[in-house]
Amino acid sequence: MTDVARRAGVSTMTVSNVINGRSQRVSEPTKRRVLSVIAELGYQVNLTARNLRMGRTGAVGLAVPGFAPGYYAQLADRLASRFAAHGLRLAVERTGASRSAELDALTASRLSGYDGFVLSVVAGDVTDLDHLSVDAPVVLIGERAVPARFDHVLMDNVGGARLATELLIRTGARRIALLGGVRVAEGSMQGLRTRGYRDAHEAVGTAVGNELIVSCGFGVEDGYEAVRDLIGRGVLFDAIFALTDSAAIGALRALAEAGRKVPEDVQVVGFDNLDDGRFTVPSLTTVEPGNAEMADAVCTLLLERMASRPAPVSARVVMPEARIVERETTRRA
């Protein structure tokens, strides 16, 4: 640690603050300089000694619904690398989108095995979570409403879906099929993205036919089967907005088999900006919801909450701005 401090031109206390997640005490330029020197020198934290000294486990937990489609796998990878930079390992649990599993993840007995915990909430609601007595450092992620006492990181589902639909309308689409949508607005990911889709249509005075809103899953096969069904039923469409990139990739396969050219005959937009979308043929236009920013926020919020114990920290809400990544499945305006 002394070598790192000398090379970075800071005190050993500053290096300790950076390593142990007390980054709120260090300016961002100084933090970057210390981390750069740590990487340059190949400095390794003695995790066993540090954890014994501080009464910690050295582990952070992450509970997600599952890993297919690939959004949660990429989220876990991003978080693992960020926590590793602070000497923490990431342990991943699967809830299967079960309400009981989500609530069980936040019980004292489960949280005692971790220094901090990140939970993706997809089934539990405000009432469920409000009844829990959670004393450990926790950050919640996902679009579900959560009690105000929890740090919450979420994406702009409505805004991102509106951007995707606006792009398709701007590039000439008139009948946009929505893969994974719902016909009744509600607070789930599907409901919020459907609302953005409808908002974009309402802004230009265009009605949406119910036949264009397709209820389906979010995986590759789900998107493939949904488009085959649309074509088989003779539904007319000149664009597809899929609520996930995985469903969009399946849609591309179904369109190719049906002889529909992309983007000449049908334009396609996904959501999530998964790595796979860069390698489809043609490459997939998608909504980037701020994946890196959300991972940064989760890591920062949890580390700050861990460092603040037992003193309370006011809860924060972080929602990065969504943007469009234009590739080859859409036409230029």
pLDDT at residue 54, as a whole number: 56
1-45: in CATH 3.30.300.30: no
How far is 66 from 180, CA to CA, in rounded Å? 18
pLDDT in tens, 212-232: 999 999 999 999 999 999 999
Buried b (16+ CB within 10 A) or exposed e, 93-114: eebeeeeebbbebbeeeebeeb
Which sequence spans correspond to the domains of the chain?
A: 1-45, 59-155+291-321, 157-289
pTM of the model: 0.82
Per-residue model confidence as pLDDT tens digits over 68-98: 778 999 999 999 999 999 999 999 999 999 9
The domain made up of 157-289 has a fold known as: Rossmann fold (3.40.50)
- Pairing state between β 116-120 and 151-153: unpaired
103 vs 38: CA distance, rounded Å: 38
Domains 59-155+291-321 and 157-289 belong to one CATH topology: yes
Is the pLDDT reported for residue 270 higher than 60? yes
**Fold topology of 59-155+291-321:** Rossmann fold (3.40.50)
Angle at 62 between CA 60 and CA 67, to 5 degrees: 145
Higher pLDDT, 248 or 8: 248
